[in-house]
Structure 1
Amino acid sequence: MAAHALGQISYPGPRRMRRQAVLSVRHVSDFLPRRLALTTAAIFVSAVAAIGHATLPGFAAGGGPLGSRPPSWAAGTARKPGWPRPPVSPAMLTTASLALLVFVAVLSVTAVGQARLAEAPGWVPAGLLTAGACAAALPAILTARFRQGVRDAPRGLDAALRAITIHRVARTLAATLTAQAAVLLLTQSNAWAAVLGRDAFWETDPAATSWGPALAAGTVLGVAATVIAVIPVGAAAPRSPAPLPGQEAAA
């Protein structure tokens, strides 16, 4: 036992310099820039408010003389008294919601990656532009919903015009969110490599000036944004069946 004790006591200690570090409690604010938090909150709140208003029931056809009928996709807005169909299709609402989540995720990861690389915050222009688009979407939807009706319009025309406007605003919002996410991925791909690791997804070139997986994802989102932007108003909405000749004559 004495030999073991002497062996442990005489064991050589470290000969190199010892480094000392002060440990401190780190909060979420240490990792999340304040500007990023405020921008993300503004985008999320305004976009959710705009999408939420787009899910409200549509508009009654209203009174007035019978004339030219509204488009077939909007003809069902007055089918159920007191509860017209929403002006934006479920497919478009789902697209806008997914676009919002994708953009917020892309914006957050890009900001964290640029902070790790000690780069200038290149996410700020895309964040501010998207925040402005989301902020402008809400008053546009509210104006279309609560504006004064068109006087002496054929039955259903004013409801159709309101529904078309709200659908186009929701479509523009979804396309903008998707396009800005694509821009961040295409222009700030190295930030994603700093977060996920450059060797992720079989990318092994340490001297590369961009990161292939982020470029590929940005290209896909760019194509998706283009497709969303050109979707016709009634493409994703269920169409009302055409009336039979006898019923149309009776009407």
Structure 2
Amino acid sequence: MSGTRRPAPKFPLRLDQLAPGAPAPGAARTLLRPQQPLQHAALEATRRNTPTGLGLDSAGVRERMVARLRDEGLRHEAVLCAIAAVPRHQFVDAALATQAYEDTSLPIGHGQTISKPSVVGRMIELLMGGASARAAGQLARVLEIGTGCGYQAALLSQLSRQVISVERVKPLHDKARELMAPLRLANVRLVYGDGMLGHAPNAPYDGIIAAAGGEALPAAWLEQLAIGGRLVAPVHDGTDRQVLVVVDRTEHGYERSVHEAVQFVPLKSGLVR
């Protein structure tokens, strides 16, 4: 390809170090049907574990949440379909199960939370707007930084051929493995490791999504992003505020766009036993 190549940015990459690019393209609108094995496993899991009398195993409960998210502006039908398929109440403590389908974040222990459905949906919607996802109609290989309770990984499994999810807090890693086991998600691999390092053995990724925000994007994430891939992460904008940042990797370098303000737990390095 002719023309002068823009040099790759130095690392770690901050908001003001990214080469300006065109606004992020709109989210793809391809409809992906929920995987049947997940639906069947989810129904079985809810029959075994749902507190009696709450009705949380009803698909109608999730459909009502999806309708609210659609009214609030979430438009990607494949993402909405995934949210309708995955039982969120299975990923929160039983005492909080009645709040599972409200648009609120909930504690999951160890200073971490399960994010609001609207925020999770918005981030995945942005991820699905990357060049690779738009071309294929789905994501190929996705790296999730911060497994937490496993809910977002379960959603990503509906939209991707393979999901690698890294968690640095061992009790959360173990809890996510236990919570996800009934769903039998063969395309999800949970890794206990330092998310700031990404996960090089399975790189490159055509999607990287982070559930924690730092001052800068770690070098490893950008190095492990495939050409045509997209990264979505919360980053501090130079103040106390976090914003969603989208980074697209092209043949010429990296292009970024900045989106709405968000609030996530801090991005940290190292392992916690």
TM-score by length of 1: 0.28
Structure possessing the higher radius of gyration over alpha carbons: 1
Q: Which has the higher helix share?
A: 1
More relative contact order, 1 or 2 (CA 8 Å, 6+ apart) = 1
Q: Which has the higher strand share?
A: 2
TM-score by length of 2: 0.27
